[in-house]
């Protein structure tokens, strides 16, 4: 075996700065992050907050099993490899615990590492962890006279480019070709995603909602009504410092955390663009003067506009500073505290 070979998942990972947390630092980081996710009052557009919080908590329960956890310095959240490892551990936990129970019944004494692994698996086994990537499609309605079927698709992924939990929700229509050559096949009240549709989601759902809308809007036989992207992250803390001025410097800021919860939507039901995100710009507005008219024409053809929002969850000590900095941007952002 080639000692320099990489696993398939390692080959896909982008090279981003990271740091390893372990011991009490990892415990404090993971528990606070989990609490912030649950404090953010996340609705259906976001990834499941309970599952996401469980991933963070699991990182703090691995002492004696793993040597800490890698944190992406750009997003302040765990690397994809850490999330994949937690999910894999949960998937094999039941089998491992059954085997270990049999060994104990036979009088075998576990090593310290096996004992730690047993305790870790006991803690994660009752918890729910969403797949690292999942795609669900639901039939919304069929307009028989127009031969159109409408669907809702929910695509969850741990985004390897940014290392954040991400959910895309799509509302779309296609010519109703039940069991025919379509992105989504329909039979009665049931729908089934095709390989072509899964490929399109993997390929196009990697950036903001407007870009996904533009790309899907070029597909034959499909009319996109809405694309919503919501993310959990970035997370600013001692583990991955914020830009200057957002967290107190020195010991005063060591225990403070700010979790970003951005959401952007491109929809035909919006009358105008609205940007309420101090850390992002609407894609068309960011383009050069030569490129913008082309995309504006395409936006008018497809009939969509864009809304961007961002709310925050933070530790109490940094809340006044955060609210003041946000007030200075002239935007109205929700801030939740633990």
Over residues 92-129, the pLDDT tens digits come to 999 999 999 999 899 898 899 999 999 999 999 999 99
Same domain, 284 and 186: no
Same domain, 109 and 20: yes
Q: Is 98 part of a structural domain of the chain?
A: yes
Higher pLDDT, 251 or 332: 332
Same domain, 95 and 185: no
Predicted pLDDT at 176: 64
CB-CB contact of 24 with 207 (8 Å): no
Given a cut of 60, is residue 179 above it in pLDDT?
A: no
154-172 confidence digits (pLDDT tens): 999 999 889 999 999 999 9
Given a cut of 60, is residue 1 above it in pLDDT?
A: no
What Cα–Cα distance (Å) separates residue 270 from each residue in 179, 263, 288, 305, 310?
A: 33, 15, 24, 5, 18
Q: Which of these three, 225, 244, 261, is where a domain ends?
A: 225
Predicted pLDDT at 290: 82
Same domain, 221 and 237: no
Q: Is 1 part of a structural domain of the chain?
A: no
Same domain, 20 and 78: yes
- Torsions phi, psi for 83 (to 5 deg): -65, -45
Query: Which uninterrupted H or E stretch holds 184?
Result: strand 184-187
DSSP symbol at 215: H
Same domain, 116 and 165: no
Higher pLDDT, 284 or 303: 303
Q: Is 2 part of a structural domain of the chain?
A: no
30-81 confidence digits (pLDDT tens): 999 999 999 999 999 999 999 999 999 999 999 899 999 999 999 999 999 9
Q: Is 35 part of a structural domain of the chain?
A: yes
Q: Is 281 part of a structural domain of the chain?
A: yes
4-19 confidence digits (pLDDT tens): 443 344 444 456 899 9
Same domain, 240 and 193: no
Q: Is 206 part of a structural domain of the chain?
A: yes
Same domain, 89 and 187: no
Average pLDDT over residues 278-294: 85
Predicted pLDDT at 186: 60
Provide CB contacts within 8 A for 324, sequence distance 6+.
none
Q: Is 3 part of a structural domain of the chain?
A: no
CB-CB contact of 12 with 160 (8 Å): yes
Beta bridge partners of 190: 187
Q: Is 110 part of a structural domain of the chain?
A: yes
Provide the residue range defining the domain that includes 304: 233-338
Predicted pLDDT at 185: 62
Q: Which of these three, 225, 259, 286, is where a domain ends?
A: 225
Predicted pLDDT at 75: 96
Same domain, 115 and 12: yes
The position carrying tokens 């497809």 is: 302
Task: Say how many domains are in the chain.
Answer: 3
Predicted pLDDT at 182: 56
What Cα–Cα distance (Å) separates residue 82 from each residue in 79, 215, 265, 295?
A: 5, 31, 29, 38
Q: Which of these three, 93, 124, 155, is where a domain ends?
A: 124
Same domain, 336 and 249: yes
Same domain, 80 and 163: no
């Amino acid at each position: 075996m080639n000692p320099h070979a990489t696993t398939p998942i390692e080959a896909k990972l982008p090279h981003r700065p990271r740091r390893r947390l372990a011991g009490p630092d990892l415990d404090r980081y993971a528990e606070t992050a989990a609490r912030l996710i649950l404090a953010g009052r996340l609705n259906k557009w976001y990834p499941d907050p309970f599952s996401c919080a469980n991933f963070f908590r699991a990182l703090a329960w691995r002492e004696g099993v793993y040597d800490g956890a890698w944190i992406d310095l750009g997003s302040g959240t765990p690397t994809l490899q850490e999330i994949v490892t937690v999910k894999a551990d949960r998937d094999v936990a039941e089998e491992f615990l059954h085997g270990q129970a049999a060994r104990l019944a036979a009088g075998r004494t576990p090593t310290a590492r096996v004992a730690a692994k047993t305790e870790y698996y006991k803690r994660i086994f009752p918890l729910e962890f969403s797949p690292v990537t999942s795609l669900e499609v639901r039939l919304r309605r069929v307009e028989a006279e127009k031969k159109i079927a409408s669907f809702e698709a929910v695509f969850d992924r741990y985004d390897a480019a940014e290392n954040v939990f991400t959910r895309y929700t799509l509302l779309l229509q296609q010519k109703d070709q039940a069991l025919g050559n379509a992105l989504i096949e329909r039979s009665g009240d049931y729908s089934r995603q095709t390989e072509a549709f899964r490929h399109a989601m993997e390929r196009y759902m990697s950036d903001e909602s407007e870009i996904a809308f533009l790309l899907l809007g070029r597909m034959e036989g499909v009319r996109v009504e809405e694309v919503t992207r919501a993310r959990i992250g970035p997370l600013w803390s001692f583990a991955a410092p914020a830009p200057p001025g957002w967290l107190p410097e020195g010991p005063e800021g060591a225990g403070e955390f700010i979790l970003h919860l951005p959401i952007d939507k491109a929809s035909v039901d919006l009358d105008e663009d609205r940007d309420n995100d101090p850390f992002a710009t609407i894609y068309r507005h960011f383009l050069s003067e030569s490129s913008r008219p082309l995309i504006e024409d395409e936006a008018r053809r497809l009939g969509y506009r864009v809304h961007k929002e961002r709310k925050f969850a933070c530790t109490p000590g940094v809340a006044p500073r955060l609210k003041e900095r946000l007030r200075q941007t002239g935007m109205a952002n929700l801030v939740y505290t633990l």
